[in-house]
Amino acid sequence: MSASSSTPTLLATVQELPSIDRLLHHEAFTALQARYGHRQVVQQTRAHVQHLREQALQGVLPLQQVQPEPLAQAVQQRLQQQTRSRLQPIFNLSGTVLHTNLGRALLPDDAVQAVARVMRQPVNLEFNMDAGTRGDRDDLIEPLIRELTGAEAVTVVNNNAAAVLLLLNTLSQGRETIVSRGELVEIGGAFRIPDIMHSAGAQLHEVGTTNRTHLHDYERALSEQTALLMKVHCSNYAIQGFTKSVSIQQVAALAHAHGLPAVEDLGSGTLVDLGQWGLPNEPTVRQSLAAGADLVSFSGDKLLGGPQAGLIVGSHELIAQIKRNPLKRALRVGKLTLAALEAVLQLYRQPETLHERLTTLRLFTRPLQAMQAQAERLLPALQHWCGEGYTVGIQPVRSQIGSGALPDEVLPSVGLRIGTLSGGRNGRALLQLEQRLRALPQPVIGRLHDNALWLDVRCLEPEFEAAFLAQLAEAQS
Ligand SMILES: *Cc1c(COP(=O)(O)O)cnc(C)c1O
């Protein structure tokens, strides 16, 4: 060995590993136990010592690492990792505003506060304050729903899939529901109209063809077995070309002429005319009811901009029948959902300020100029963070509304386009970058597309911009 070589690292043998018992009595470990509890500390200490044992057996364990302090530090890291919430905030720069995998609608402050308020104290969830008797949780939002949609009554369940299930099970179990073939949609994952029908015990009677269904198709399908006529909003696809569908108005008139109810699954179910903000028009819940639908079902966390929930609104009598179904009890929502939903519905009473106060609508209507200016502020930090080999530029992009709402409709937006200097076949470099963004303390989700990684700034509200920039700067140093 030459004199110039550095001091060799001293290696530990298995015999030099401290016993778990001895470690737990060391002050560094008693501090950990005070914070995380005995059981978790023992668990993670065992796991870590086992890891060191394997290294020692391979002859690669530095002696220094078996000292109590570094050991405690390593165990603390494991504990931090273990106790971190698995449900963590991220930055959604994917360009899809209502992203089902990212939790759909963001709740406005009013709703966040309302939820916090009812979490800590008893509330009148099912308690009629006037009579001092048992109440009905749906009554909490019924007056609001009546005012905003013209419906007579409402019932709220876990999500719109549950709403459709409950509705069909109540009104069509063992009997037929007539639906146009062109409306037998699959809404991502496991929600398919035919499957839900089946689970609900309802018999599906498809009518018409994929692209065209006429009123006489419904008419011919009517029989003793018919329980219901149903329309389903083709949320996530559009049929173009030689098409024909029958309006809810016509379907409802036909149903009523035969003493049957007509229902519509509106999917997103917006409560207001989105056209007033230059957004594409969606049928509103009020319109569907006014056109004759006896019941309308829709999600709480799509265009409505509220918590995950499914609402069924419409005829008092049919809603009462639905509420008597034992499945309603299995699918009902809790006080947190109702608190958030009520607060969101309250915002709709003041349409003038809705685009400022309702988070989803605020995101849909962000001015292009503001997004352009924001992209310009973000660009230098992002370029610096990406490092050599990448180029960041600003380009117009189109955001999606998402969650099956308005599939064709896209909102002009501003994107940061990250490409590689080499251009060409750069898939690996882009994947690496995408992974680095996902590995940040608050992960950033972008979109790989057309030889580049795109970050659509629409959903980075100014309120969160500083945190976004700070984490890029920190990751850098
Ligand atoms: C989204 C959607 C559903 C499912 O709603 P969830 O709230 O996600 O359960 C059902 N029907 C239609 C038409 C939809 O667009």
CA distances (Å), 366 to each of 9, 133, 275, 464, in order? 59, 47, 15, 15
pLDDT of residue 4: 47
Distance, CA of 260 to CA of 295 (rounded, Å):
12
Coil, strand or helix at 227: strand
Answer yes or no: are the C-beta atoms of 170 and 162 closer than 8 Å. no
Binding site membership of 161 for ligand 1 (Cβ less than 6 Å) = yes
**In what helix (H) or strand (E) does residue 125 lie, and over which residues does it extend?**
none
**Comparing C-alpha atoms, which of 239, 235, 241, 232 is closest to residue 204?**
232
The number of the ligand 1 atom at minimal distance from the alpha carbon of 300 is 7
Coil, strand or helix at 237: coil
Binding site membership of 160 for ligand 1 (Cβ less than 6 Å) = yes
Backbone phi, then psi, for 133, in 5-degree steps?
A: -120, 180
Q: What is the largest CA-CA distance in the chain?
A: 103
Cα(169) to centroid(ligand 1), Å: 17
Distance, CA of 339 to CA of 353 (rounded, Å):
20
Coil, strand or helix at 160: helix
Answer yes or no: are the C-beta atoms of 456 and 397 closer than 8 Å. yes
* pTM, 2 dp: 0.92
**Comparing C-alpha atoms, which of 115, 114, 95, 97 is closest to residue 106?**
97
Cα(279) to centroid(ligand 1), Å: 21
pLDDT of residue 236: 66
Binding site membership of 291 for ligand 1 (Cβ less than 6 Å) = no
pLDDT of residue 43: 97
Cα(259) to centroid(ligand 1), Å: 28
Supply the residue whose CA is at minimum distance from atom 12 of ligand 1: 267
Cα(187) to centroid(ligand 1), Å: 6
The number of the ligand 1 atom at minimal distance from the alpha carbon of 403 is 1
* pLDDT tens digits along 115-155: 999 999 999 999 999 999 999 999 999 999 999 999 999 99
| Neighbouring C-beta atoms of residue 281, cutoff 10 Å | 12
DSSP 391: E
Cβ burial, residue 280 (10 Å; 0-12/13-18/19+): middle
Distance, CA of 361 to CA of 350 (rounded, Å):
13
Answer yes or no: are the C-beta atoms of 308 and 301 closer than 8 Å. yes
Kindly give the parts of the chain with pLDDT less than 50: 1-4
pLDDT of residue 409: 62
* pLDDT tens digits along 173-225: 999 999 999 998 887 767 888 999 999 999 999 999 888 899 999 999 999 99
**Comparing C-alpha atoms, which of 222, 234, 226, 224 is closest to residue 268?**
234
